[in-house]
């Protein structure tokens, strides 16, 4: 019996396929590295028990499903990963990345399960779900003051990832679906499966393949001709999300042709340069309009095609917190997104017809058209 218990684990590991063995070795190396600071490891039977056999489903994604659970009387969200997706690296990547964080605007990982093809992540429960459930459509219940505070919270969480950790964390998948909201609508960044760690002194990182979600991917991530991949790539995604929060609709839609994938940024830019009313249905007061214009201006700065023209997150937060009049009008951005069928496209915005009233130093780019294949 003693022999059986001592050698059971090692014998089982030896019988694993080489791929599975490497994954288990990665998990064991992670646990050794973090020791008592690593999240608690649970068995899959524990997962079944805390979720009451996966009874209450909260959502579904390409990675798998999310279920509501109970951990020692505390509500939790349990993400069950699809065993046919990926090779285990994203799972280890998420656990390793989020274990380094401790911030009010970053979701807390409470534990995980890694047992062969059975993998799960246990997070704190966020009662108001994800941001995308609240910002699209005319029936959005979030007022402008709340949207503004959510935008600031997300920005502070990103600034922490870029500057506040021992190792800089680049998220690479900032979008409304990955922003969770608690009972008071305080935002928390989640889903670190695509994140990359780099040294604080590193300004650029190397990547073998593009990562992220179409509509939020910075141009340099899918085409190196635009510049190096860095924390500014997250800034781009943040800017696209800001514009979606203002417009109340997705900037990208697979149903439209690639020449009209992104429409709200173009329309918003034209409204500002021509000093036209935004005419957004939810805007009812002057304060609402000021918040909307501020978020649009910061969003347009963040989605500049040239990464060097995008502000760091600290500057983006400073602009959001400052006066509208103090924000310089951004250069005219060229809207970029990878096309599924026709390569990558850059869509130039229309030429401004008159200066924006809040800035005395408006700057624009040439209206030359480009097509990158």
Per-residue pLDDT of 328-341, as tens digits, reads: 999 887 765 555 44
**How far is Cα 20 from Cα 7, in angstroms, rounded to an integer?**
19
Residue 52: left if φ>0, alpha if ψ -120 to 50, beta else—which one? left
**How far is Cα 11 from Cα 136, in angstroms, rounded to an integer?**
52
**How far is Cα 79 from Cα 70, in angstroms, rounded to an integer?**
13
Pick the more confident residue, 187 or 358. Answer: 187
Domain 132-348 belongs to what topology? Transferase(Phosphotransferase); domain 1 (1.10.510)
**How far is Cα 59 from Cα 69, in angstroms, rounded to an integer?**
13
**In the predicted model, is pLDDT for residue 297 greater than 90?**
yes
Query: What pLDDT does 334 receive?
Result: 74
**In the predicted model, is pLDDT for residue 314 greater than 80?**
yes
Query: What pLDDT does 211 receive?
Result: 78
Query: What pLDDT does 8 receive?
Result: 46
At residue 124 the predicted structure's pLDDT band, cuts being 50, 70 and 90, is very high
Q: Where are the domains of the chain?
A: 2-124, 132-348
**In the predicted model, is pLDDT for residue 61 greater than 60?**
yes
Contacts of 7 (CB under 8 A, 6+ apart): none
Which residues are annotated binding-site positions for ATP? Answer: 79
**How far is Cα 270 from Cα 273, in angstroms, rounded to an integer?**
5
Query: Is residue 26 within a helix (H) or strand (E), and if so which, with residue range?
Result: helix 18-34
Report strand pairing: 40-41 vs 109-115: parallel
**How far is Cα 246 from Cα 313, in angstroms, rounded to an integer?**
19
Helical packing angle, 232-247 and 264-273, nearest 10°: 80
Query: Is residue 81 within a helix (H) or strand (E), and if so which, with residue range?
Result: strand 74-81
**Residue 350 φ then ψ, to 5°:** -65, 155
DSSP secondary-structure letter at 160?
I
At residue 311 the predicted structure's pLDDT band, cuts being 50, 70 and 90, is very high
**In the predicted model, is pLDDT for residue 153 greater than 90?**
yes
Query: What pLDDT does 260 receive?
Result: 43
At residue 353 the predicted structure's pLDDT band, cuts being 50, 70 and 90, is very low
Query: What pLDDT does 26 receive?
Result: 58
Which one is catalytic: 90, 173, 191, 288? Answer: 173
At residue 199 the predicted structure's pLDDT band, cuts being 50, 70 and 90, is low
Pick the more confident residue, 86 or 124. Answer: 124
At residue 214 the predicted structure's pLDDT band, cuts being 50, 70 and 90, is confident
**Residue 337 φ then ψ, to 5°:** -165, 145
Per-residue pLDDT of 79-113, as tens digits, reads: 998 765 555 667 777 887 887 788 999 999 999 99
Average pLDDT score over residue span 241-268:
69
265 and 300 Cβ atoms separated by less than 8 Å: yes
Burial 115-141 (b: 16+ CB within 10 A, else e): eeeebbbbbbbbebbbbeebbbeeeee
Query: What pLDDT does 342 receive?
Result: 38
**How far is Cα 4 from Cα 16, in angstroms, rounded to an integer?**
18
Give all strands of the β-sheet with 40-41 in edge-to-edge order: 40-41, 109-115, 118-124, 74-81, 64-71, 57-61
Percent of the chain surpassing pLDDT 90? 44
**In the predicted model, is pLDDT for residue 10 greater than 50?**
no
Mean pLDDT for the chain overall: 77
30 and 23 Cβ atoms separated by less than 8 Å: no
Which residues are annotated binding-site positions? Answer: 79
How large is the C-alpha radius of gyration of the chain? 22
Q: Is 234 a catalytic residue?
A: no
At residue 157 the predicted structure's pLDDT band, cuts being 50, 70 and 90, is very high
CATH number of 2-124: 3.30.200.20
């Amino acid at each position: 019996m003693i022999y059986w218990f001592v050698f059971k684990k090692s014998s089982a590991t030896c019988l694993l396929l080489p791929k599975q063995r490497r994954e288990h070795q990665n998990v064991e190396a992670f646990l050794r590295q973090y020791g008592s600071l690593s999240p608690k490891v649970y068995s899959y039977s524990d997962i079944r028990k805390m979720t009451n056999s996966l009874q209450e489903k909260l959502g579904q994604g390409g990675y798998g499903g999310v279920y509501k659970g109970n951990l020692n009387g505390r509500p939790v969200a349990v993400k069950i990963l699809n065993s046919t997706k990926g090779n285990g690296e994203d799972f280890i990547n998420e656990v390793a990345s989020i274990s380094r964080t401790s911030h009010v605007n970053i979701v807390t990982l409470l534990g995980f399960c890694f047992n062969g093809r059975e993998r799960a992540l246990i997070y704190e429960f966020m009662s108001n779900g994800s941001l995308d459930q609240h910002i699209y459509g005319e029936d959005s219940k979030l007022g402008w003051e709340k949207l503004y505070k959510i935008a600031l919270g997300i920005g502070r969480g990103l600034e922490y990832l870029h500057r506040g950790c021992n190792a800089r964390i680049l998220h690479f998948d900032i979008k409304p679906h990955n922003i969770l909201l608690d009972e008071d609508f305080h935002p928390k960044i989640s889903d670190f499966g695509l994140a990359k760690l780099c040294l604080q002194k590193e300004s650029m990182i190397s990547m073998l393949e593009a990562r992220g979600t179409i509509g939020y991917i910075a141009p340099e991530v899918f085409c190196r001709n635009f510049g190096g991949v860095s924390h500014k790539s997250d800034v781009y995604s943040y800017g696209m999300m800001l514009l979606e929060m203002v417009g109340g609709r997705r900037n990208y839609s697979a149903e439209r042709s690639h020449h009209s994938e992104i429409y709200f940024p173009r329309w918003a830019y034209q409204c500002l340069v021509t000093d036209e009313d935004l005419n957004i249905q939810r805007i009812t007061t002057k304060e609402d309009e000021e918040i909307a214009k501020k978020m649009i201006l910061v969003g347009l700065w963040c989605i500049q095609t040239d990464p060097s023209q995008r502000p760091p997150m600290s500057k983006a937060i400073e602009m959001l917190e400052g006066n509208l009049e103090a924000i310089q009008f951004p250069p005219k951005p060229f809207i970029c997104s990878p096309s599924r069928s026709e390569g990558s496209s850059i869509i130039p915005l229309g030429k401004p017809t008159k200066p924006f009233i809040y800035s005395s130093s408006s700057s624009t780019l040439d209206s030359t058209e480009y097509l990158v294949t």
